[in-house]
Structures are given as structure tokens and as C-alpha cells.
């Protein structure tokens, strides 16, 4: 599957966006619309309108849907962040996972069940989220179990970033999913966000090795949110950076294509102009833009990066 993150408001306002999305991709991730603050803005009060719009678009164009994301420390409504007490947090989490996964039962191919649970420290630990604080590590296994009960046919993924290359965070995620598998928790795979910078992206061999570690455990994998920044951290003139970007896309996507258990590659947006990396609040990337991170330029022309992805799928 070849996917893109899509936004409902662009589908409504930009016909070219919708046309290109339907023509080029057969898998869709709602970029924001299924997140907690969108679908459950106040306790047990639900708004699926924007997410449903994307699912309807996907179904009209024979595209599969990746649900994103049931449990994440970010983009939570304030009421959830401020909830206290293990019983209250457990009840709200269970209701959320069951309701959202239940609403999309039979309509999503896969779910990112738990997103970004680990910290970026040199010794990664589970982030100090409302879930971790009140429930401990058990919130992860429980979320997978509830999601599986609500939609037994959906593939269930753990999703994270900065795990595409060897390191402490990768080891922490590997150890978590190994324990989940051993305990019989219904987890089917791991997603690699792959938000990378062309200046220091993992190599094909590194990424292929990481993918193999997980598929050897009997898990599926996917590239869930790839974009390749060629902002100011990357040296050289623009044509040089554009070529490096093409090669980076090819090399990372090729690592997925080479492993039969890697079932999808999703880019985190369609034209450069709508990329989240260009939004000023992403402080980690601040001052490095413009990033030109995606496969289509601002007039929907195919960039060399597009050919890089195509080369990878064609084994060139």
C-alpha cells in the first residue's frame, strides 16, 4: 500500500489536492481528524464528522484507511490531560479506545493504537503522560486488547519516531513489543514514522536491519509518516539537496519494499506547501525551513523525490 496523510479541510477547499490524492495513493491516514481532541472534545461527547469525511473519500476512491491514533500524549483535550486517579483514567481510556475503534469497525485496515510512548532521553523511558502516570506500562497492553475487541479485523500497530536506526530508543521499543508479543497481547506490527532530515537520515542497511529485527519477531512493519526535510541543515545548493532527497526516499522506501512483512509506505502529506514541518510551532525544526519535504511541489508537480519512491517500488 502507498499512503498519504490527508486533511479534511484541504479535501474540501482544494480540488487539485483531492484529485492527486485519489490518483496517486491507495491508503489514507487522517493527519489529525481521528485524534482524541478532535473526536472526543469533551468527556463522552463525540465528533466524527471530519474523520468520517476522509473515510468516505477513501471508500469512494477504493483506498484503505489507517486509523491514527487511539492513544497519544499529544493533541489530547485538556479535560483528559487533567484527569486524576487510576480508576478515572482507566475508564476514560477504555471508553475512548472502544468507542473510536468501534465507530470505525470494518472501515479501517489498521490502527496506530499507541503512538510515541517513549521519551527521547539517552535512557528512554515511558513518557510521563496522563496514561503512564496513573496506569503505568499496563495502559499499552490494555489499549491493544480493547482495540482488538472493538474491531477484531483491524491490524494493530505501535507507532514511533527515531527508531529507524540502532539506538537506545529502538531497543526500548523492541523490548516493549517483544514483551507484548510474549504476553499474547494483540499487537500486529510496528510503524516507523520516518520524519527524517536528508543530512542525517538512516542508511538503507541500518533501516533494513531494524525492520528485520521486528519482522523476525513475527510482526508486520510499515513506514507510517515519512517526510524528508531538505531545509538549511542540509548543505549544498537546491538542486544538490533535491537529488539527495530523491536518494534518501529511494533508500528508505527500498528497505521496506525488500521485506515482504513491510506492508505500506505512507508520506506525511501531499504538496510541500501543506507540510506540518512548515508550521512554526514545531520548534525542533524551527529556523531550518523551508523544508520541501514531500513528493509534490506546490503546483502538484512530481518532484525527483517521487521518482525516488517509484524507483524503490520498481527495484531500480
Residues in contact with ligand XIL by the rule CB under 6 A: 31-32, 115, 193, 225, 276
Closest CB to ligand XIL among residues 31, 311: 31
Give min distance, CB of 245 to ligand XIL, in A.
Answer: 19
Give min distance, CB of 195 to ligand XIL, in A.
Answer: 6
Beta-carbon-side half-sphere exposure of residue 121 (alpha carbons within 13 Å)? 10
Give min distance, CB of 115 to ligand XIL, in A.
Answer: 5
How far apart are alpha carbons 30 and 75 in whole angstroms?
A: 14
Which residues have CB under 8 Å from 116's CB, separation 6+? 72, 73, 74, 127, 159, 160, 161
**φ, ψ of residue 224 in degrees (nearest 5):** -100, -25
Do residues 299 and 237 touch, judged by C-beta distance below 8 A? Answer: no
Give min distance, CB of 118 to ligand XIL, in A.
Answer: 13
- The question of whether 116 is a catalytic residue gets the answer yes
CB atoms within 10 A of CB 44: 9
Closest CB to ligand XIL among residues 16, 74: 74
Do residues 116 and 157 touch, judged by C-beta distance below 8 A? Answer: no
Do residues 275 and 269 touch, judged by C-beta distance below 8 A? Answer: yes
How far apart are alpha carbons 256 and 155 in whole angstroms?
A: 18
Give min distance, CB of 214 to ligand XIL, in A.
Answer: 18
Closest CB to ligand XIL among residues 198, 311: 198
Distance (Å) of CA 245 to CA 20, 131, 238, 294, 305: 21, 37, 10, 9, 6
Which residues have CB under 8 Å from 19's CB, separation 6+? none
Closest CB to ligand XIL among residues 294, 311: 294
Catalytic residue among 24, 31, 40, 225: 225
* All cell numbers assigned to 315: 527495484
Closest CB to ligand XIL among residues 118, 311: 118
Catalytic residue among 116, 137, 164, 281: 116
Which residue minimizes CB distance to ligand XIL?
276
Give min distance, CB of 193 to ligand XIL, in A.
Answer: 6
Closest CB to ligand XIL among residues 129, 311: 129
Which residues have CB under 8 Å from 59's CB, separation 6+? 107
* All cell numbers assigned to 185: 497481547
Do residues 304 and 292 touch, judged by C-beta distance below 8 A? Answer: no
Active-site residue list? 116, 225
Amino acid at each position: 500500500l502507498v499512503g498519504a496523510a490527508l486533511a479534511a479541510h484541504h479535501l474540501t477547499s482544494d480540488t487539485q489536492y483531492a484529485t492527486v490524492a485519489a490518483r496517486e495513493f491507495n491508503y489514507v491516514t487522517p493527519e489529525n481528524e481521528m485524534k482524541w481532541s478532535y473526536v472526543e472534545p469533551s468527556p463522552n461527547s463525540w465528533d466524527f464528522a471530519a474523520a468520517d469525511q476522509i473515510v468516505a473519500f477513501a471508500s469512494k476512491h477504493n483506498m484503505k484507511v489507517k486509523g491514527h491514533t487511539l492513544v497519544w500524549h499529544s493533541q489530547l483535550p485538556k479535560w483528559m490531560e487533567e484527569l486524576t486517579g487510576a480508576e478515572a483514567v482507566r475508564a476514560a481510556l477504555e471508553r475512548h479506545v472502544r468507542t473510536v475503534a468501534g465507530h470505525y469497525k470494518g472501515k479501517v485496515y489498521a490502527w496506530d493504537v499507541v503512538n510515541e510512548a517513549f521519551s527521547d532521553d539517552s535512557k528512554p523511558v515511558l513518557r510521563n503522560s496522563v496514561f503512564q502516570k496513573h496506569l503505568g506500562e499496563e495502559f499499552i497492553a490494555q489499549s491493544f486488547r480493547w482495540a482488538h475487541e472493538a474491531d477484531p479485523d483491524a491490524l494493530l500497530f505501535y507507532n514511533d519516531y527515531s527508531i529507524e536506526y540502532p539506538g537506545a530508543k529502538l531497543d526500548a521499543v523492541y523490548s516493549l513489543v517483544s514483551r507484548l508479543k510474549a504476553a499474547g497481547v494483540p499487537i500486529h506490527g510496528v510503524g516507523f514514522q520516518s520524519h527524517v532530515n536528508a543530512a542525517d537520515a538512516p542508511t538503507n542497511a541500518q533501516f533494513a536491519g531494524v525492520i528485520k529485527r521486528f519482522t523476525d519477531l513475527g510482526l508486520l512493519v510499515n513506514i507510517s509518516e515519512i517526510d524528508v526535510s531538505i531545509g538549511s541543515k542540509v548543505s549544498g545548493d537546491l538542486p544538490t539537496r533535491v537529488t539527495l532527497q530523491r536518494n534518501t526516499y529511494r533508500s528508505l522506501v527500498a528497505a521496506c519494499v525488500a521485506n515482504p512483512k513491510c506492508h505500506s509506505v505512507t508520506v506525511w502529506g501531499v504538496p510541500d506547501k501543506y507540510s506540518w514541518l512548515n508550521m512554526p510551532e514545531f520548534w525542533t525544526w524551527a529556523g531550518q525551513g523551508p523544508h520541501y519535504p514531500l513528493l509534490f511541489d506546490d503546483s502538484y508537480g512530481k518532484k525527483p523525490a517521487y521518482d525516488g519512491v517509484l524507483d524503490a517500488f520498481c527495484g531500480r
